[in-house]
Amino acid sequence: METIKLTIDNKEIDVPKGTTIYKAAKELGIDIPTLCYMELHDMNIENKPAGCRICVAEVSGRRTLAPTCSTKCEPGMVVKTHTPRVLNARRTVMEFILSDHPKDCLVCSKSGTCELQAMAHRLGIKDIPGAEYAAVSTYRKDTSPSIIRDLDKCIMCRRCEMMCNEVQTVGAISAVNRGFMATVAPAFEQNLEYSTCTYCGQCVSVCPTGALTEVNHVPQVLRALVDPTKTVVVQTAPAVRAALGEEFGLAPGTLVTGKMTAALRALGFDYVFDTDFAADLTIMEEGTELLDRLSRHLKGDKTAKMPILTSCCPGWVNFFEEYFPDLKDVPSTAKSPQQMFGAIAKTYFADKIGINRKDMVVVSIMPCLAKKYECQRNEFSVDGNPDVDFSISTRELASFIKQANIDLNTLHDEDFDAPLGESTGAGVIFGTTGGVIEAACRTAYELYTGKKLKRLEFTELRGMEGVRSATIDFDGLPLNIGIAHGLGNARKLLDDVRAGKSQFHAIEVMACPGGCIGGGGQPLHHGNSEIIMARAAAIYTEDRKKPLRKSHENPFIIKLYNEFLGKPGSEKAHHLLHTHYFDKKKKIIIKK
Amino acid sequence: MSHIKIELRKEDVDFIKGVCATFNNDPQELINVLHTCQEHFGYLPAEVQEVVSDGLNMPVAKIYGVVTFYSFFTMTPKGKHPISICLGTACYVRGAEKVLDEFKKELGIQVGESTKDNKFSLSSLRCVGACGLAPVVLVGDKTYGRVAPDDVKNILKEYEN
């Protein structure tokens, strides 16, 4: 490969041709400040609109300062990244950005994790000259079921636009207008609710300011906890335990399952359960559906649709309802683990403890923002009483724990409550890309072949590539598996299914890059993809530590079927654990 | 939220689809497609943008972004007599802003809007190349030079019927 030699801050470096100054400096350990640039290199995600102009530097032979994020290295270039001229320019740019920014930092939901606030601190900005003359552009606040847009705080870094359009191919938002009124918005500046938004929350997870944040449900949860008439049940998704520790200063990838359980109990939840239990249940239902469709398909039954698509991910469900409504009978009808949990908690478990479902409040802790929308879907409630009342994100839980003055780090590990807290390793790996289908294979293989699996870990299904495929030998039957994470990758597989070209028997889709561990409700990664990799590793560690690692061996699942549901796919199971999908494609109105 | 809810006729949809097809349904041709559509409809209502989105297979949010970025494109229908006031340097220093204010007052509308009866619409532009006549006002194809605020009433009177 052709390399280029250049000098940055008096240090020489060789870099491959095409490397930007920003990346070359990073290799030298020089941290150039930036607000809009962001890269997740393991996932092939990069945002470099050269919009914020904070990353400028002096480059020999160039009259003006160069934005380092988008300027390529040239042979013999001499770059200076922190000269007085550069510092002065950065300060001026920053003052301009701040002059049109609201000053409600005290109560802004991003306070403390805001990149703009951190940058003002880093650049030593103590006052904003001329702020009283500058326009503070004003927009209305837009609250959807999952996401709040407060665009007075938008600095036009356009990371959200890149995530929504290039990575997710959802296209719900775009840069609109110009000058002071420039911002990022859905078409016709309608509310997000009326756009094609899937609520995946990837825009929120990259927003540097308080322009895009989640709807905060902690106050409602708090009210339920102080209400003596309510029994409050909590469930925690697998990806939460692999990331919550980051909010308390622990290294990424530190598992805090036991401490999280202890914290939830200390917060006053009456029963601390695990969504992983419901993940095991999902495998029983989805696995049974897969085997049923597969055997009918092998017998030549044309009504047996192939491939089967996973349906755990609410962002993904929203995506295919909007873009592929013609394929809405292809995904599995199994509800997501969150909703299966709610349905079982408010029937089986409410009966067990002898209370009415109206007196039970089910709270879920999710790495996800789309889960907030999912639990509000009409089909997931009985007489107006939702199966899951509130869904709060990993970030909201961390804030809640801090509010209650609980020091997560010093808590002793505690176990989940029985019976809805018991899970296998298969339930745990639901939290990362490839995990759902691996869990399904562990159970489906044994049910299909009647033989014990020799090798539990399907490493061929793991990894971070956007689209993966593998063929698993089901005792002579080659089962073709496809995996996609990130909705843009899912679209590629779906286009093949629509065209009738798909060779897969089963496809797993997760809306967020990396799967739930990279979800829109997780602690902010601030562009560091190593954090997401560490969380994935933690999930697989938790799986290895579990005594039981196959869903169908979970004794509480076996008991649930014996006592209540009958068998997987039974009428009762269908009523409680399965759902159907809708055509949500926006129609163009044509005059008759 | 300024867009007007209209229903398109089938031939309108076919026209837009046809325009997209002329440009090979290529998203890179968006601006050309929008130009042709605006020429035909006089403006670009949300519904037209939605059909373009379908035809070029690109998000309608992106199309709206382009429509709101370029001042040439408009989402409000132009009046029967579109009024443009030049705010170029020469016109501006000779009092064009006061003329504009007078039009706003007389018509009760802002720049970019149309009167309720759709008779007049108001826009500003930068230099029509007649700086010797500054300040300049255009009504439809007709040019008025050296316009003073006091002339505004008389100009509007010409279009009473």
Q: Out of A198-207, A348-357, A444-453, B75-84, which region has the weakest mean confidence (pLDDT)?
A: B75-84
Strand, helix or coil at A15?
strand
Contact list, A171 vs chain B (CB under 8 Å) = 58-62
Average pLDDT of A356-381?
Answer: 98
Whether A285 is catalytic: no
pLDDT tens, position by position, A91-128: 999 999 999 999 999 999 999 999 999 999 999 999 99
DSSP line for B14-83 = HHHHHHHHHTTT-GGGHHHHHHHHHHHHSS--HHHHHHHHHHHTS-HHHHHHHHHHSTT--SS---SEEE
Same domain, A58 and A148: no
Same domain, A229 and A186: no
Question: How many of the other CB atoms lie within 10 Å of CB of A78?
Answer: 13
If phi > 0 it is left, if psi is from -120 to 50 it is alpha, else beta; for residue A584 that is alpha
Same domain, A90 and A148: no
pLDDT tens, position by position, B43-102: 999 999 999 999 999 999 999 999 999 888 989 888 899 999 999 999 999 999 999 999
| Interchain pair B59, A171: CB under 8 A | yes
Burial of B104 (0-12, 13-18, 19+ CB in 10 A): middle
Question: Which two three-digit tokens encode residue A265?
Answer: 């109990």
Domain with A76 in it: 3-97
Place of tokens 């020429």: B39
Whether A371 is catalytic: yes
Task: Indicate the pTM of the whole model.
Answer: 0.91
Decide if pLDDT at A8 tops 80. Answer: yes
| Interchain pair A178, B68: CB under 8 A | yes
| Interchain pair B7, A195: CB under 8 A | no
Q: Which of A175, A188, A589 sits opposite B7 (nearest CB)?
A: A589
DSSP 8-state secondary structure symbol assigned to residue A590: B
Contact by Cβ (8 Å): A443, A283? yes
Contact by Cβ (8 Å): A148, A108? no
Same domain, A415 and A473: yes
Catalytic residue (choose from A52, A114, A157, A312): A312
Same domain, A498 and A526: yes
Residue A164 to residues A143, A170, A196, A319, A484, Cα–Cα distance (Å): 18, 6, 10, 12, 16
Strand, helix or coil at A24?
helix
Q: Residue A557: CB partners within 8 Å, gap ≥ 6?
A: A277, A280, A281, A284, A551
Residue A178 at interface with chain B, using a CB cutoff of 8 Å: yes
pLDDT tens, position by position, A293-344: 999 999 999 888 889 999 999 999 999 999 999 999 999 999 999 999 999 9
Same domain, A344 and A481: yes
**Residue A250 is assigned to a structural domain of this protein:** yes
Decide if pLDDT at A71 tops 50. Answer: yes
Query: B84 to chain A nearest CA, in Å?
Result: 21
Decide if pLDDT at A20 tops 60. Answer: yes
Q: Which of B3, B61, B63 sits opposite A172 (nearest CB)?
A: B61
Place of tokens 């826009």: B123
**Residue A590 is assigned to a structural domain of this protein:** no
DSSP line for A12-69 = EEEEETT-BHHHHHHHTT-----SS-EEEGGGTEEE----S--SEEEETT-SS-EETT
**DSSP H helical segments within A546-585, as ranges?**
555-560, 571-577
With a threshold of 0.85, tell me whether the complex ipTM lies above it. yes
DSSP line for A452-509 = --S----GGG-S--SEEEEEEEETTEEEEEEEEESHHHHHHHHHHHHTT----SEEEE
Distance CA A387, CA A464 (A): 33
Q: How far out from the chain centre does Cα B99 lie?
A: 19
What pLDDT score does A592 carry? Answer: 46
Query: How many domains does one find in chain A?
Result: 3
Same domain, A47 and A110: no
Distance CA B100, CA B112 (A): 12
A590: β partners: B8
Distance CA B120, CA B83 (A): 7
Question: Which two three-digit tokens encode residue B6?
Answer: 């209209």
Question: Which two three-digit tokens encode residue A43?
Answer: 């996932």
Whether A379 is catalytic: yes
A38: β partners: A47
pLDDT bin (cut points 50, 70, 90) of residue A591 is low
Same domain, A412 and A494: yes
Q: Which CATH number characterizes residue A25's domain? A: 3.10.20.740
Give the phi and the psi of residue B125 in degrees, each rounded to 5.
-140, 170
Whether A2 is catalytic: no
Same domain, A140 and A166: yes
Q: Which residue of chain B comes nearest to A183, CA vs CA?
A: B65
Contact by Cβ (8 Å): A58, A83? yes
Domain boundary among A150, A184, A214: A214
CATH superfamily of B81-157: Glutaredoxin (3.40.30.10)
What pLDDT score does B2 carry? Answer: 37
Q: Which CATH number characterizes residue A315's domain? A: 3.40.50.1780
Catalytic residue (choose from A95, A247, A286, A542): A286
Place of tokens 């469930």: A235
Domain boundary among A192, A214, A236: A214
Average pLDDT of B14-33?
Answer: 97
Residue A94 to residues A35, A117, A448, Cα–Cα distance (Å): 10, 11, 62
The CA-based angle A244-A513-A205, given to 5 degrees, is 55
Q: Given the DSSP bridges, would you call strands A271-274 and A390-393 parallel, antiparallel or unpaired? A: unpaired
Contact by Cβ (8 Å): A299, A470? no
Element (H, E) at A153: none
Domain boundary among A214, A240, A258: A214
What pLDDT score does A67 carry? Answer: 97
Distance CA A363, CA A395 (A): 15
pLDDT tens, position by position, A135-177: 888 899 999 999 999 999 999 999 999 999 999 999 999 999 9
Same domain, A113 and A73: no
Q: Map out the domains of chain B as residue ranges.
A: 10-69, 81-157
Whether A58 is catalytic: no
Catalytic residue (choose from A23, A48, A346, A371): A371
Place of tokens 């449900």: A217
Burial of B17 (0-12, 13-18, 19+ CB in 10 A): middle
pLDDT bin (cut points 50, 70, 90) of residue A588 is low
Same domain, A338 and A290: yes
Q: How far out from the chain centre does Cα A133 lie?
A: 40
Distance CA A363, CA A352 (A): 19
Distance CA A268, CA A271 (A): 9
Rg from Cα positions in chain A: 25
A480: β partners: A471
Place of tokens 């796919």: A569
Residue A562 at interface with chain B, using a CB cutoff of 8 Å: no
Cα dihedral sign for A297, A301, A307, A312? negative
Contact list, B45 vs chain A (CB under 8 Å) = none
Contact list, B63 vs chain A (CB under 8 Å) = 187
| Interchain pair A588, B58: CB under 8 A | no
Distance CA A275, CA A281 (A): 10
Residue A219 to residues A143, A225, A293, Cα–Cα distance (Å): 16, 10, 44
The pairs formed by A449-454 with CB atoms below 8 angstroms and a separation of 24 or more are A449/A474, A449/A475, A451/A475, A453/A550
